[in-house]
Amino acid sequence: MVLYRNAADKAFLSMIIAVNSYINRKLCVVPKSHSERRSLLREMNKEDVRALYSDIMRTLHDEAFYEGVYNPKEVKYAISLIKKMMEGFRATS
């Protein structure tokens, strides 16, 4: 269970790094919190990314890591969404 929780949180951290990099490229700002990330994405008219970020944060960080909810299918799905998000960031570079 510890490995599962750590893996889920590492996947979440990879999304944070990608989102921070994306925001930095567009606005020359590095967000310092989840709230700031979501606000900046909204300011950038990236509501789709903001909603996805919040949903993935709930699944990987809140549920899997903090609450210890064991749901491998949801984690696998969230990780696939992170991959798609990163591909989208590359396409808009």
Q: pLDDT by residue (tens digit) across 37-80?
A: 999 999 999 999 999 999 999 999 999 999 999 999 999 999 99
Instruction: State pTM to two decimals.
Output: 0.91
Among all chains, which residue has been given the structure tokens 């310092």? Answer: 32
Domain total of the chain:
1
Angle (nearest 5°) at CA 54 between 44 and 25: 35
Angle (nearest 5°) at CA 34 between 7 and 60: 25
pLDDT bracket for residue 1 (50, 70, 90): confident
Looking at residue 52, what is its pLDDT? 96
- Domain boundaries, position 70: 2-91
Task: Find, among 63, 56, 16, the residue nearest to 40 by Cα.
Answer: 16
d(CA 71, CA 69): 6
